[in-house]
Homo-oligomer: A and B are copies of this chain.
Amino acid sequence: MHRLTLAALAVSTALASPSLAQTPVANPPGGPTTASRPRPTPLPVAVDPKVARLRDKALADDTAYELVEALTTEIGPRPTGGSARQAAARDWAVTRLKALGFKNVRIEPYTLPNVWERGAETGEVVGAYAQPLRLTALGNSGATPAAGITAPVVYFPSLNDLLLAPEGSLRGKIAFVSNSMQPTQDGSSYGSAGAARFVGPNVAARKGAAAIVIRSIGTDHGRGPHAGGTNFDAGVAPIPAAALSVADAENLERLVKRGRPVSLKLVLTPRFVGARRSGNVIAEVPGTDKDAGIVLIGGHLDSWELGTGAIDDGAGLGITTAAAKLVMDAGRPRRTIRMVWFGDEEIGGLGGDAYAKAHAGERHATASESDFGADRVWRVETNFAEAARPIGDRLAVALAPLGIVRGTGTAGDGTDIAPVVRTGVAGIDLNQSGLRYFDYHHTPEDTLDRIDPEQLRQNVAAWTTMLAIVADAPEEIGPVPPRP
């Protein structure tokens, strides 16, 4: 396999003829194509020795691990939805961030209109195959009576099959959608497999189902169900909706395939408890040039309560905080680095929405979020206006020694920064490998021991490099066409 011959020829020619100096090096096999080919790195690009030193120092820095260790040990789960433990975590965060030397450390409160709260949740197969099932209610799930409901199962191998079911055909039945998920480095299989959770319950409710159970959106084969939110359209009465552990879903599939009717008993008693106060935690590294725009970074403080929120998203808090501290300790940057520990991300990015509303008047130069676990960063993507593109070139060259490739997409991913990115702020994404993430995501297994300290340090080195280059970049970082 040698697909790059033509591009390579073009580049070697480019070294002789400046006119071709923009020819891409990387048009990878089986990867991004000419339609979205990377803006090339116009070689050679010199790396600021100060940046290289900081990058190497970060590879030996354990601030991130110490922070995640402390958060998951001293606070533990931080239930999404304005919980008391999330509030305790905010106070804990303020103390920690002040102790680390950050400035303008504060809590910015906001109100959640109507919070969904988990109740009892049990499930079992009844009848000839009677056996218990491990499950958890999906966020925004409707409730069964306290005594539960018992109904026959209708099996759908995928969301597409559920959508093909005739209207009304599910009346009085429990829909069971069980598409599996393969790991992908770029996380794209979460988008396709996850649709069963995001929209499956709404579809089943429209077709008259009494309830729905789905195979957990995960790449493991364990007994820990994967929590997560779902949504019902206005005017659609929420039905009980739960995720079975992958092992339990596979067992239920085998039972259904025996050909005899299978019935389930479900007890799910979540409820909406009304408005609650919650908040974001903010800390800053003040810059010397307040007109140059804010470099916005962060992760989220809330977590699903089954685990301790180590990879989702204690790791993101640790990575961004450790990187910001390394840059802060190296001397005052040009741009202010603002770090936000967002609240209530898991139920739809409510902390991110509140932040964007509260800071709508301020100029943000860039926005970046770390919320994809603790495994190594494999790709960097940017979204700069023309004047700032040399920053992207410097990022690509400075990150390459960490084993990071330059991607071809338009950066700005992340629920919490989305409202800011939508206003036309440039995004910088440091994409982590998703190959292990969905083994533990939203499960009881999301605990400290899932974090590989060496990969965590590689993340800190990547973020430190990014912050050192972007916060001090002399270029103007202007607005970009807003992402939808």
Contacts and interface: CB of A to CB of B under 8 A. Distances in A.
Nearest to A14: B199
B28 A188 contact: yes
A214 to B, nearest CB: 13
A187 B28 CA distance: 6
Contacts of A43: 159-160, 163
Question: How many copies of the shown chain assemble into the complex?
Answer: 2
Question: In terms of DSSP, what is the predominant structure of the interface of chain A?
Answer: loop
Given A15-B199, A192-B26, A405-B192, A44 B5 contact: no
Given A5-B415, A25-B195, A233-B13, A405 B184 contact: yes
A5 B409 contact: no
Nearest to A483: B34
A313 B1 contact: yes
A63 B372 CA distance: 40
Interface string A438-460: 00011000000000000000000
Contacts of A8: 194-195, 198-199, 230-231
Contacts of A220: none
A183 B236 CA distance: 46
A474 interface: no
A31 interface: yes
Contact of A185 (B5, B185, B409): B185
Given A30-B186, A192-B406, A400-B160, A4 B198 contact: yes
Interface string A184-218: 11111111101100110011001000000000000
A315 to B, nearest CB: 10
Interface string A15-55: 11000000001111111111110100101111000000000
A2 B15 CA distance: 44
Interface stretch (A87-95, A275-283, A342-350): A342-350
Given A11-B199, A185-B185, A186-B186, A409 B28 contact: no
Contact of A418 (B6, B161, B483): B6
Max count, chain B CB within 10 A of own CB: residue among A3, A313, A442: A3
Given A8-B199, A371-B1, A29 B231 contact: no
A407 to B, nearest CB: 7
A35 B409 contact: yes
A275 to B, nearest CB: 20
A373 B30 CA distance: 11
A119 interface: no
Interface in A220-235: 228-233
Interface stretch (A169-177, A240-248, A250-258, A429-437): A429-437
Contacts of A412: 33-34
A104 interface: no
Interface of A: 1-9, 11-13, 15-16, 25-36, 38, 41, 43-46, 157-161, 163-164, 179-182, 184-192, 194-195, 198-199, 202-203, 206, 228-233, 312-313, 345-349, 371-373, 376, 378-379, 381, 383, 397, 400-401, 403-415, 418, 429, 431-432, 434-435, 437, 441-442, 483-484
Given A29-B434, A32-B409, 15 more contacts: A1-B312, A1-B313, A1-B371, A2-B345, A6-B349, A15-B202, A15-B206, A26-B191, A31-B191, A34-B484, A35-B410, A36-B409, A180-B403, A188-B407, A192-B406
